[in-house]
Amino acid sequence: VQMTQSPSYLAASPGESISISCKASRSISNNLAWYQEKPGKANKLLIHSASTLQSGTPSRFSGSGSGTDFTLTIRSLESEDFAVYYCQQFNEYPLTFGSGTKLEIK
Amino acid sequence: VQLVESGGGLVQPGRSLKLSCAASGFTFTNHYMAWVRQAPKKGLEWVATISSSGSRTYYADSVKGRFTVSRDNAKSSLYLQMNSLKSEDTATYYCARDDWFAYWGQGTLVTVSS
C-alpha cells in the first residue's frame, strides 16, 4: 500500500491551525497511525486507529478519515509542535510510511 | 518502557552486521517487535517485524533474503542480522514495539561504505 502524504513542507505561526493529508493507494480501513519526529528525541506516536489519541498526546491534535483518505489536524499550534510528521498504515505487510511533512515556524 | 539499540557501525559493502535491541519496562513476550530505519535526510522505512513467539516474521522487499529478524524472549532482546550489506542500507536503525509503534528506541547508525 502506497501512502501519499502532503504537503511535504508547511510553514505556520504559533496559534494557527494546520492539516496534513495522507492518502492510501487502497483501503486500509482505519489502520493508520501518525508520528512526530524531533531531533534528539525518540519518535512519538500521536494517534492510532486513524483518530484515537495516544495517551499523552495533547487534545489540540486530532485525526480523521477511513478507507483511503486521512487527515492530521493540529489546532492552535504551540512552539513544541514544530517537527516532522509521518503517517503509517498498519493494515497489511509490508507496512508503509508516508514521506513526511516538515512543519516549520513562519 | 525502554528500548536500547546497539551494534551499529561502519561496515564494508557485502559484509555482515548484527544489531541488538534490549527491551525493558514491559512484558517482552507479549509483544510483536519491529525494526524501522531512516537513511540520512530521508523518511522512515519499515524493515521487519517478528511475532511475540518468534514464529512469524515479515520483511520489506528491500531486505528480504538478506536480513533476518530474531528474538530471545529470555533475554528480552531483539536482533537484526544484516548480510550482504549495500550502500543503500546506510541508515539509523530503530527498534519499536509493534503495537502501533508506541515505543521507539533512539536508534543505532549503520554506515555501509568502503
Model confidence pLDDT, tens digit, residues B58-100: 999 999 999 999 999 999 999 999 999 999 999 999 999 988 9
Contact A102, B49 (CB under 8 A): no
**CB interface of A with B, residues 25-84, below 8 Å:** 33, 35, 37, 42-45, 48-49, 54
Which pLDDT value is given to residue B98?
Answer: 86
CA separation for the pair B109, B69 (Å, rounded): 17
Q: Which residue of A has its CA nearest to B105?
A: A42
Mutate to test the interface with A, among B1, B42, B100 (most CBs of A within 10 A): B100
Q: Which three cell numbers stand for residue B9?
A: 557501525
Q: What is the pLDDT of residues B7-51, one digit of tens each?
A: 999 999 999 999 999 999 999 999 999 999 999 999 999 999 999
Nearest-by-Cβ selection for A86 from B43, B102, B103? B43
B43 near A CB under 8 A = yes
Query: How many angstroms away from the CA of A43 is the closest CA of chain B?
Result: 6
Tell me the DSSP string of B57-105. Answer: EEE-TTTTTTEEEEEETTTTEEEEEE-S--GGG-EEEEEEETTTT-EE-
CA separation for the pair B12, B5 (Å, rounded): 21
B67 near A CB under 8 A = no
Region A5-26 average pLDDT? 97
**CB interface of A with B, residues 17-36, below 8 Å:** 33, 35
Q: What is the pLDDT of residues A76-102, one digit of tens each?
A: 999 999 999 999 999 999 999 999 999
Nearest-by-Cβ selection for B100 from A33, A93, A98? A33
Q: What confidence category does residue B106 fall into, taking pLDDT thresholds of 50, 70 and 90?
A: very high
Q: Which three cell numbers stand for residue A45?
A: 506516536
Q: Kindly tell me if the per-residue pLDDT of A32 is higher than 90.
A: yes
As a whole number, the mean pLDDT across chain A is: 97
Closest residue by Cα to residue B45 from B88, B13, B77, B87: B88
Q: Quick check: B43 and A43 CB within 8 A?
A: no
Q: Quick check: A94 and B60 CB within 8 A?
A: yes
Q: Quick check: A42 and B106 CB within 8 A?
A: yes
Q: Kindly tell me if the per-residue pLDDT of A41 is higher than 90.
A: yes
From residue A1, how far is each of A63, A68, B65 by CA, in Å?
20, 10, 21
Q: What confidence category does residue B113 fall into, taking pLDDT thresholds of 50, 70 and 90?
A: very high
Q: What is the pLDDT of residues A69-78, one digit of tens each?
A: 999 999 999 9
